[in-house]
Structure 1
C-alpha cells in the first residue's frame, strides 16, 4: 500500500474575542541578505505557511509581509512596519512567523510589540518554538526571546570570526563594481582596467602638480571624463577618497571599519578597537608606492 502522510495541525487560536470564528491570518517572512540562497529561503517560508493556512479550515489568509534585511536593524523592515500598522487597524487576528528571532530586533522590542498586539487581540504563532503568544505566560516568553537574541549574537560573532580569519589570510570581499581602475578577475583578485587606470593616474598627477580636489573636479568635468558610474559630475569627496586609497598602490588594508554593536548593525571607523590587516602586493598597482606616499605627505601638510 502507498504511504500516506497526514499533517496534524497545531491548535492555534486568537484571543477569546476571536474564538470559534474564522481567523484572518497573515504571514511574516524575513531573511537577512539579498542572496540567491536567502531569497530561496524566503520563498520556502512563504510556501510552507501558505500550505499551513490552506490546510486549516478555520483560517483565511489576509496578507503576506516580507522583509530582506537584518532583524536587528531599523532599515529593511518595511514589511514589519506595514504589518504593525495593519494590526492597529484590526485587519487580521493571527500572525504566523518562522521563529521568535525572525520577529523583533531584540528582547525588549519584541516583548513590547507582543504586548501591543495582545491588547489589539492579535496573536502570534512562532513555528520553530511552537509558541502562541496568547497562551504562553510572559516570563517564559522573556526567556525564549532572550535565548533567541543570544543565538543571533552568537551567529553574528561567528560570522565576524570567519571574516577576520579570511582577512588574516589576506582574503577579502571587495566591491569592484564602483571602483574606478579595477574589476574583479576570475581568481577574485583586482584586475586593472587600462582606460580607467589612466584616469586614476591623471588624478594623482594633477594633485602632485598642485591641483586641489575642487580644481581636479573642474578639470575632469571640463574634459568630459566620466565617473565610474558614467556620470559627468564628479564629487570632491570621491576624488579625496581616491587619493587616500591604498589599493591604488597594490595594497589592501582590511577591516577599516567595525561593528561594535550587533543589535544596531552600525559600522564605524576602526580607530584601533579591532585589528586591521595590511596585505602588501595584493594586486597590480595603478600608481607607484612613491607617488602614493608623496600624495599622502602633501595631503597631511594641508
Structure 2
C-alpha cells in the first residue's frame, strides 16, 4: 500500500471544512447536496484553502429549527472537534448560508455563529460570499445586523411551515374516525386503493389470533417465536425471523382491537419527542375481541411485574456484542431464568430458533477480559492512516521474531557453551532489536499524532471507568465503548473478542476471554 501524505502537509494553506445541511427527504432527492458541496469546493479553490475531503460534516434530513443539528447532529460534532482542538484555530468553515447553521430564534442562532468565530474559526457564507470572524462581528455592526436579519427570516419561515403542517395534521386527527390519516397500519391490515378504509389480510389476522390463543394457553413469547420459526410461518414486518420482542409488541398493540392513538411531534432539547393525543376507537378493523386482549395483557403485565429486576444496565457490551457466525446481535440471558442464575451472551437469531448455532458465552468471562485488558485496548488505538498502521504492525511482528531468535540463541549458548559465533549472533540480534524498538516508538508517536484528542480522551475515560473500584459504572463503560467501537465480535470458536474501531474503519483489536466450554 502506498503511504498517503495529507495534502495539508505539502502546503501551508489554511484548512477548511464544509458543512452541508438540509431538512427534508425531498431536498435529499433533489439538488441540495450537490449544490452545497460544489459551492464549497469552488470557494476553497478560488481562495487558496485546503478543503478537507475526509472530515466532512453533513446533516442530511436534519432540522435546524429547534437546534437538533447542534445538539445531536454533525454540527455538534464539528463544535466538539473545535472544543477538543482537533480542528485548529485559524481553520475555515464553509456553509451555503447562515440558516444552514441554525434556524432557531435569532438570538440563539447568532450565538452559534459567535461560538464558532470566538474559537478562532472563520465562517464563510457561500451564497453571498460574506466572511465572519470574531473581529468582524466586534467591529462591523453591519455584519452582525445581517446575521440577525438572516436568522429572523429563517426562523419565521420555519415557524410558519411548522404552523401549517401542524394545522393540517390537527385537521386530519379531527377526521380520523371517518378517514385514515395515512397509509401506516399494522402488518395484518392494508389501506384500500381509494384510501377510504383499511382491509384485513385474512391469513395474517389468523396468525395474530393464534399468538393470542397460544399466550392464553400458557405459551411464552420466546416459545411462540421459536415455534413460528420452526414452522416457517411467514413473518410480516422488516425482520428476517420471528422474535420475542415482536410477539410482545403485538400482544400489547391496541390496534388489534381497532384502537389508534395519533401522536404529535415536539422538539425538546434538540430531540424530537412523540406526544400521544386522544385515542380513536374503531379506527382499524378489530381482529381480536376486547375481552381476549384484556385477559392477555393482564397475564403479561403480571409477568413483567414479577419478573422485573429493577436494576440498570447489566451488560457492558449491550448493543455492541455480535455473533461470529451470522453477525446478529448477541443478547444477555440468564441460565435458568431465576435470580442467581448465570448470565450468558447468546445470538438473538439462534435464541429465536431461526437457524444460527446456539452457543452461550459467559458474561463474567467477557467482562473480566475487557476490564483486565482496558489499558491494552487504550495502548492499541489504531491510526487513521492505514499505511502507517501496517508499518507499525510489521515492526512489532519483527520485534517479536527477533526476540524469539534471541531466546533461541541464549538457549543454545547454555547448551553448547560460550561459542564465539553464537555470542556474535546474540550481539547482532540485540542491536537489531534496539533499532526495531526505536522504530516502533517513533511509529507510535506518529500514530498518536493522527488520533483526535476526542478519541484519546474517550479511551482514557474508558480505562478510568474500567479500573475504578467496585461497584463499577457499567453504563459509563458501555457508553465509552459505544463511542470507541462499532461492534465487538464475540468469537466463541476461538475464545476471542474482536473490537472494531469506530475512528479507523477496518481496524480491529483482539483479546482472549477464555475458551468455549462444551457445556456452554
SS at match of 1:136: helix
Distance 1:254 1:230, change over 3 A: closer
Considering fraction of residues, name the structure with more helix. Answer: 2
| Shift in Å, 1:30 | 0.6
2:60 counterpart of 1:62: no
Instruction: Kindly state the Cα deviation for residue 25 of structure 1 after the two structures are TM-superposed.
Output: 3.5
Corresponding position of 2:187: 180
Structure 1, 129-138 or 119-128: larger mean CA deviation: 129-138
Which of the numbers 253, 256, 265 marks the counterpart of 1:259? 265
Instruction: Find the counterpart in structure 2 of residue 126 from structure 1.
Output: 125
CA contact (8 A) 2:251 2:297 kept: no
**Distance of 1:219 and 1:130 partners within structure 2:** 65
Give the aligned partner of residue 208 of structure 2.
Answer: 200
5+ long unaligned stretches in structure 1: 1-20
CA distance in structure 2 between the partners assigned to 1:37 and 1:192 by the alignment: 35
The equivalences for 1:28-177 within 5 A come to 28-33=19-24, 35-40=25-30, 41-54=32-45, 56-63=46-53, 64-68=56-60, 69-71=62-64, 72-73=67-68, 77-78=73-74, 81-82=77-78, 85=81, 88=85, 89-90=87-88, 93-104=91-102, 106=104, 110-127=109-126, 131-134=130-133, 135-137=136-138, 140=145, 141=147, 144-145=150-151, 148-169=154-175, 170-175=179-184
Return the offset for 1:52.
4.5
Give the TM-score taking structure 2 as reference length. 0.42
Query: Any conservation in 2 of the 1:70–1:76 contact (CA below 8 Å)?
Result: no
- Give the equivalent residue in structure 1 for 2:292: 295
CA contact (8 A) 1:73 1:264 kept: yes
Measured in 1, the distance between the counterparts of 2:171 and 2:128 equals 33
CA deviations over 1:113-155 (Å, ceiling 9, x no partner): 4334323431113356765332235864456545544543443
Q: Is the 8 A contact 1:67 1:78 kept in 2?
A: yes
SS of structure 1 residue aligned to 2:124: strand
Distance 1:136 1:190, change over 3 A: farther
Name the structure 1 match of 2:250: 242
Aligned-partner Cα distance in 1 for 2:294–2:93: 60
In structure 2, the residue corresponding to 1:253 is in which secondary structure? coil
Work out whether residues 25 and 92 of structure 1, in 8 Å CA contact, stay in contact via their aligned partners in 2: no
Give RMSD over aligned pairs: 4.0
- Residues in 2 aligned to 1:27 and 1:132: alpha-carbon distance in whole angstroms: 14
SS in 1 for 2:68: coil
Distance 2:36 2:290 in 1: 53
